Amino acid sequence: MNTSPISFKGQRFPQEIILHAVYLKLRFSLSYRDIEELLSMRNLLIDHSSIQRWVDKYSPLLSEQMKKRKKFVGDSWYWDETYIKVNGVWMYLHRAVDKEGNTIDFYLSKNRDKKAALTFLRKAMGGNATPLKISIDKSGANISALDHLNEEYTLEGKPPIEKRCSKYLNNRIEQDHRFIKKRVKPMLGFKSFDSAEHTISGIETIRMIQKNQLSDRKGMSNFEAFKSLAA
């Protein structure tokens, strides 16, 4: 009986091959046609459009498994957003890391406003313990969202989250953005919001594996750890 959390039923190629192709795209600055050529060197004739469909389908599924199995993060967060181009339009990727640089969560938004910032905060706290403090820049939307959340906490009798507004303090998350930007830049923008959201979730998964955030890694290589998410 197959107990894998991710189903590969109905695919023409084995799970191992699919995960290999997806990993190549998420980990390295390769086009889909580059990966098609690399696989052909192993006598695997796979069209680049099939690889693109695999990335789109399996990246968010692997991301969900990573979130379930990642180690606990710290209670001091650094939160900021960076820009990602989708179909010629700039979108906003909210990201947060802890004091040790571990990824907490991420969220792609079409708008940079209080609603998007609050959505990210609730998403991040839904999968992690509530932080004691959050460092942010002086973005009005982010400040407003955190103030709104603290007002809710006060009404509920919970202690507020300490807010620290400083460009210097937030250098940590800005440095971490660089890996994501480096991987996304060669793609020359995404064709759709869904494609961007799915692919970024996979890139973030790879980044968390590289940071050794998988709780049951047990000495596995990065690729082995990636494959284990579907095991």
Q: Report residue 119's pLDDT band, with 50, 70 and 90 as the boundaries.
A: very high
Rounded CA separation 98/200 (Å)? 19
Rounded CA separation 50/34 (Å)? 13
Sign of CA dihedral 159, 160, 166, 171: positive
pLDDT at 198 over 70: yes
pTM of the full structure: 0.93
Indicate the average pLDDT of the chain. 93
How is residue 227 written in tokens? 């494959």
pLDDT at 1 over 70: no
C-alpha distances out from residue 20 to 16, 160, 226, Å: 6, 45, 9
What three-state secondary structure class fits 7?
A: coil
Q: What is the model's pLDDT at position 170?
A: 74
Ranges 88-92, 129-133, 142-146, 167-171: which has the least confidence: 167-171
Domains, the chain, ranges and CATH? 15-70+214-228 (no CATH), 76-179 (3.30.420.10)
Q: What is the model's pLDDT at position 4?
A: 65
- Confirm if 206 and 226 have CB atoms less than 8 A apart: yes
- Average pLDDT, integer, range 94-115: 96
Q: What is the per-residue pLDDT across 16-29, written as a single tens digit (0 to 9) for each?
A: 999 999 999 999 99
